């Protein structure tokens, strides 16, 4: 019997649930990846770092599979048509894939499964991208968790070595079937995309890139708790893009953190649990796509301020920590977690703009964009989500900046116009006396924008805006 493994956000040939199960139960196993035109056509630009990352990772995966006697059959087109057609042409008995929890992907997979069924071909999907999925971790009354801390407690209590055990793909690799001799991976141009600055940024793709980051982070993990909140320091793992596209294994990472123990590894494991948490929120409550987790928050009336939104997107708000963060995402597709919280709070609570606008902007820009985590993060910051920041607790962008970028090292990295502004004024440069602005070569309103809003006034407006919920939330 033969099977086809359909790779999606799991671009690796080790510890891979669908590949393992297919190899174990079939004599011949083909592997395929589809550059899905339904997804690619909707992207805002033809120069997209994610597509370049995926492309490079697919080239690497093909080479890795070829070295074991297999290889990747790569197609470009609507996956819902391509996969059934390919499965029929290869005359396989079944298609295997790892599960996706996003509503659009669930609908696509149901469609593919139905089309395969009509052809007499089976479709099986597997848990792979999370440690616990769907309803595996529930409250005592068998309902999904919507608060993180008890979820985490239950997650840790449910964990056994089995959940973190790697799928031994190697053992069964002999069943890998070679694709036709003329199969090759199309170039980036052939799928309609242009190169980006990914290489220049030093973002290493594929399993090899993931491995380098894992090895580097494991040397620093003990210091994670102390360093993770400071964007100018190398305190975090930078693994999110690899977790997004499955060039690393969540089981391997969670197992390493769990085995290591200590405050650094435990805090990092907590972040991986947040990842599972938001996946199960999305699974149980797909209405969070476009709607507030707490529906009463959809009564909040946001301001539509195109000028202010553009200033936020382009890093011209006059608040250095916000502007430096936005320039980081625009330049690299990455933004540090502390900064994501700060800019999301700024957009919603200082500019009064709907969180969905920011969510969409992040979705377009982030290399690690993941619907579950991004939606969760935005609803947290906007106070509309499960276990969110209470609406009356509003980040002050200046004090956040003083606390987490005390010398302005991060700010100066992205805002060279503020290079000579003294540390004391770097977080609120409009408070620097005009004569000193001249001396520092940074005249506010000329070399760097004046603040687009006054934080204290914005705060009052936000408290009034959320006031419609008084007594309810
Ligand atoms: P580390 O600190 O090293 O964390 C390790 C891993 O844990 C991350 O790679 C990620 O997979 C996971 N993780 C960490 N924090 C969270 C979290 N709060 N929620 C879910 N998973 C988490 N993360 C994404 O992967 N994709 C997104 O689209 C995304 N959008 C966000 C939007 C907002 C407004 C906010 C506040 C957070 C968002 N996050 C998102 C979560 C977090 O900011 C990133 O995962 C993290 O900054 C990635 O950097 P890292 O890999 O160095 O993280």
- Active-site residue 312, yes or no? no
Q: What is the pLDDT of residues 88-106, one digit of tens each?
A: 999 999 999 999 999 999 9
Establish whether 46 is an annotated binding residue. Answer: no
Tokens standing for 27?
């004599």
Q: What is the per-residue pLDDT for 389?
A: 87
Q: Give the mean pLDDT of 125-141.
A: 98
Over residues 427-461, the pLDDT tens digits come to 999 999 999 999 999 999 999 999 999 999 999 99
pLDDT number for residue 473: 57
- Is 392 marked within a binding site? no
Q: Is a pLDDT exceeding 60 seen at residue 270? A: yes
Model pLDDT for residues 340-398, shown as the tens digit of each residue: 999 999 999 999 999 999 999 999 999 999 999 999 999 999 999 998 889 998 999 99
Q: Identify which of 429, 409, 419 has the alpha carbon closest to the alpha carbon of residue 318.
A: 429
Cα–Cα distance for residue pair 109/99, rounded to 1 Å? 9
Average pLDDT over residues 305-314: 96
- How large is the average pLDDT for residues 467-473? 76
User: What is the spatial distance between Cα 55 and Cα 49, in angstroms, rounded to a whole number?
Assistant: 10
pLDDT tens by residue, 416-430: 999 999 999 999 999
Answer whether 275 contacts ligand 1 (Cβ < 6 A): yes
CB of 355 sitting under 6 A from ligand 1? no
Q: Please check if 369 is assigned to a binding site.
A: yes
Treating both helix axes as pointing N-terminal to C-terminal, what angle do 79-90 and 103-118 enclose, rounded to 10 degrees?
A: 30
Domains of the chain: 2-128 (3.40.50.620), 130-165+206-284 (1.25.40.80), 295-466 (1.10.579.10)
What ipTM was reported for this prediction? 0.99
pLDDT at 329 over 90: yes
Q: Is 278 in the pocket of ligand 1 (CB under 6 A)?
A: yes
Residue 153: which pLDDT band, with cuts at 50, 70 and 90?
very high
Nearest one of 271, 254, 276 to 144, comparing CA atoms: 276
Average pLDDT (217-240) is 98
Under the banding of pLDDT at 50, 70 and 90, the label for residue 468 is confident
Please state, in angstroms and rounded to a whole number, the distance separating the CA atoms of residues 447 and 419.
Answer: 12
Is 0.90 topped by the overall pTM?
yes
Residue 311 has pLDDT above 60, yes or no: yes
Instruction: Considering the candidates 93, 330, 337, 396, report the single residue annotated as catalytic.
Output: 337
Sheet with 122-126: list strands edge to edge. 72-77, 28-36, 2-7, 94-98, 122-126
CA of 200 to the centre of ligand 1 (A): 23
**Residue 472: predicted pLDDT:** 66
Average pLDDT, the chain: 97
pLDDT at site 360: 98
The rounded Å distance from CA 241 to ligand 1 centre is 9
Whether 384 lines ligand 1, by a CB cut-off of 6 Å, is no
Residue nearest to atom 9 of ligand 1 (CA): 240
Query: Quick one: pLDDT band at residue 307, thresholds 50, 70, 90?
Result: very high
337 CA distance to ligand 1 middle (Å): 6
Query: How confident is the model at residue 130, as a pLDDT?
Result: 98
Catalytic residue among 378, 380, 391, 417: 378
State mean pLDDT over 400-416.
98
**Tens of pLDDT along 284-304?**
999 999 999 999 999 999 998
Instruction: Report the alpha-carbon distance of residue 253 to residue 259 in Å, rounded.
Output: 10
Distance CA 317, CA 299 (A): 27
Name the least confident of 143-147, 165-169, 465-469.
Answer: 465-469
371-410 CB burial, b ≥16 within 10 A, e <16: bbbbbbbbbbbbbbbbbbbebeebbbbbebbbebbeebeb
Reported as a single tens digit per residue, the pLDDT across 6-16 is 999 999 999 99
């Amino acid at each position: 019997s033969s099977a086809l493994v359909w790779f999606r956000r799991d671009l690796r040939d080790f510890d891979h649930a669908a590949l393992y199960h297919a190899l174990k139960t079939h004599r011949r196993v083909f592997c395929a990846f589809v550059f899905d035109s339904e997804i690619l056509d909707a992207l805002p630009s033809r120069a997209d770092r994610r597509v370049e990352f995926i492309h490079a990772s697919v080239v690497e995966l093909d080479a890795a599979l070829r070295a074991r006697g297999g290889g990747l059959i790569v197609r470009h087109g609507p996956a819902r048509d391509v996969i059934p057609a390919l499965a029929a042409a290869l005359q396989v008995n079944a298609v295997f894939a790892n599960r996706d929890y996003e509503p659009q992907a669930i609908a696509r997979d149901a469609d593919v499964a139905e089309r395969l069924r009509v052809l007499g071909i089976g479709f099986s999907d597997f848990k792979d991208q999370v440690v616990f999925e769907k309803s595996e971790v529930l409250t005592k009354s068998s309902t999904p968790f919507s608060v993180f801390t008890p979820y985490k407690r239950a997650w840790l209590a449910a964990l056994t070595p089995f959940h973190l055990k790697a799928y031994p793909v190697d053992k069964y690799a002999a069943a890998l079937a070679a694709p036709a001799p003329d199969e090759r991976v199309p170039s980036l141009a052939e799928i309609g995309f242009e190169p980006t600055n990914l290489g220049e940024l030093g973002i290493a793709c594929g399993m090899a890139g993931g491995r380098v980051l894992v090895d580097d982070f494991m040397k620093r993990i003990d210091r994670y708790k102390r360093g993770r909140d400071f964007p100018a320091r190398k305190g975090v793992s930078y693994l999110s893009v690899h977790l997004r596209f499955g060039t690393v294994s969540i089981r391997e990472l969670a197992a390493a953190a769990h085995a290591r123990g200590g405050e650094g590894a435990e805090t990092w494991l907590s972040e991986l649990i947040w990842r599972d948490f938001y996946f199960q929120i999305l699974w149980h409550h797909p209405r969070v796509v476009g709607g507030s987790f707490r529906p009463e928050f959809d009564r909040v009336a946001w301001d539509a301020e195109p000028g202010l939104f553009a200033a936020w997107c382009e890093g011209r708000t006059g608040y250095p920590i916000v502007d430096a963060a936005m320039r980081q995402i625009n330049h690299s597709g990455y933004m540090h977690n502390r900064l994501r919280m700060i800019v999301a709070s700024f957009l919603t609570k200082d500019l009064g703009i709907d969180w969905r606008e920011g969510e969409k902007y992040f979705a377009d820009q982030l290399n690690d964009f993941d619907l579950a985590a991004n939606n969760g993060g935005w609803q947290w910051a906007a106070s509309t989500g499960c276990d969110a920041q209470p609406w009356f607790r509003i980040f002050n962008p200046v004090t956040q900046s003083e606390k987490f970028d005390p010398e302005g090292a991060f700010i100066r990295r992205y805002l060279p116009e503020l290079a000579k502004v003294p540390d004391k004024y770097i977080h609120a440069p409009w408070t620097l006396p005009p004569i000193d602005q001249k001396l520092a070569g940074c005249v506010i309103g000329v070399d760097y924008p004046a603040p687009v809003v006054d934080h204290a006034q914005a705060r009052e407006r936000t408290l009034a805006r959320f006031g419609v919920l008084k007594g309810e939330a």
